[in-house]
């Protein structure tokens, strides 16, 4: 997630999205990662693609502020 955060901070949103999708393959049960990748999709105007990622994050037990955001 550190590289994902770095890419986001540098404004490299599409690269962050692609990196996040690869990370989801390696960590399919990471609720926070699903949420972060969903947010990246939202930021890029890909809301329809973000919805299942938000739903999966919630199903995996997303909590706190992230849950409210989803």
> Percentage of residues in the chain with pLDDT exceeding 90?
87
Is 1 a residue whose pLDDT tops 90? Answer: no
What pTM does this model have?
0.92
* Neighbouring residues of 55: CB distance < 8 A, sequence distance ≥ 6: none
Is 12 a residue whose pLDDT tops 90? Answer: yes
Q: Which domains does the chain have, with CATH numbers?
A: 2-69 (1.25.40.10)
Question: Using one digit for the tens of pLDDT, what is the confidence trace for 19-35?
Answer: 999 999 999 999 999 99
Is 66 a residue whose pLDDT tops 90? Answer: no
Is 67 a residue whose pLDDT tops 90? Answer: no
* Neighbouring residues of 54: CB distance < 8 A, sequence distance ≥ 6: 34, 35, 38, 70
């Amino acid at each position: 997630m550190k590289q994902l955060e770095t890419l986001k901070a540098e404004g490299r949103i599409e690269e962050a999205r692609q990196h996040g999708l690869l990370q989801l393959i390696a960590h399919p049960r990471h609720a926070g990662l699903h949420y972060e990748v969903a947010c990246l999709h939202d930021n890029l105007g890909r809301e329809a693609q973000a919805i299942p990622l938000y739903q999966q994050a919630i199903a995996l037990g997303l909590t706190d502020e992230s849950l409210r955001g989803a």
